[in-house]
Amino acid sequence: MSVFGRLANLWKGFISLWISDVEKDHPEIAYENAINSMVEKYSALKRATAAIIRRREELAERLTSQQKELAQVTSDLNTAIETNQDDLSVVLIQKKNQLESAIAELQADADLAAKDADSAKQSLLSVQNEIKKLKAEKETMVAKLESAQARMRIQEQLEGLSVDAEVQALDNVRTHIKTQVAQANLNKELAETDLDSRLKSLRTQSGDVTAKQQLAEMKAAAAAKRAAAKSM
């Protein structure tokens, strides 16, 4: 292979790879290309099918014409035989034999053309259904790809989204709040402790006063008893 041939193949390879990458990123292009190719195939097959059907119809018309001619020759032959026209009868017999042979061949051709036409129509319908399937598949697959790409973009955004600073800030706020609450509770506890101490002191002093009053009362009672005893 020449250098130019190798370069041409290399260039074709690069183009093929580039097209393949484009089709992966834009699958609708690949589907459109496949659909367009199938449409072209459908058009060519439709023209071929039309030609086959036209031949089938032409053979059917020729067969009908030959059969009519055979019927006429057969009628003429019977008349010639009945009227003892032997020379004419021989000619008509030969004509009848030719027509029967031609009709047999035409019938075989017509049968084959009919089968070809049916086969061509089935192929045409098959290609038509394939085109419909490709169009429906294109819509479904492109929608699936778009959905997957959207999910991937969301995932990438989530992966690239850092919340460490925000979480740290919240942790600091929580710690500060807990500290403030603890300090408030401590102040309350300290206040309650001071109040308890003062109440305890007050109660102790009150107890001392009561005891002293009871002692004074007891002394007064004792003095009164002694005074009463002396007066007797």
Return the amino acid letter for 47. Answer: R
The whole-angstrom separation of Cα 85 and Cα 91 is: 10
Regarding pTM above 0.85, the answer is no
Looking at per-residue pLDDT, the higher value among 47 and 215 belongs to: 47
pLDDT in tens, 2-18: 544 554 554 444 444 43
Distance CA 119, CA 108 (A): 17
* Domains of the chain, residue spans: 3-161, 164-232
Helices 27-82 and 86-160: angle between axes, nearest 10 degrees: 170
Q: How far is CA 165 from the centre of its chain?
A: 38
| CB-count exposure of residue 92 (10 Å: 0-12, 13-18, 19+) | buried
Please determine, looking at this structure, whether the domain spanning 3-161 carries the CATH number 1.10.287. yes
Least confidently predicted of 31-40, 87-96, 98-107? 31-40
pLDDT value at residue 79: 93
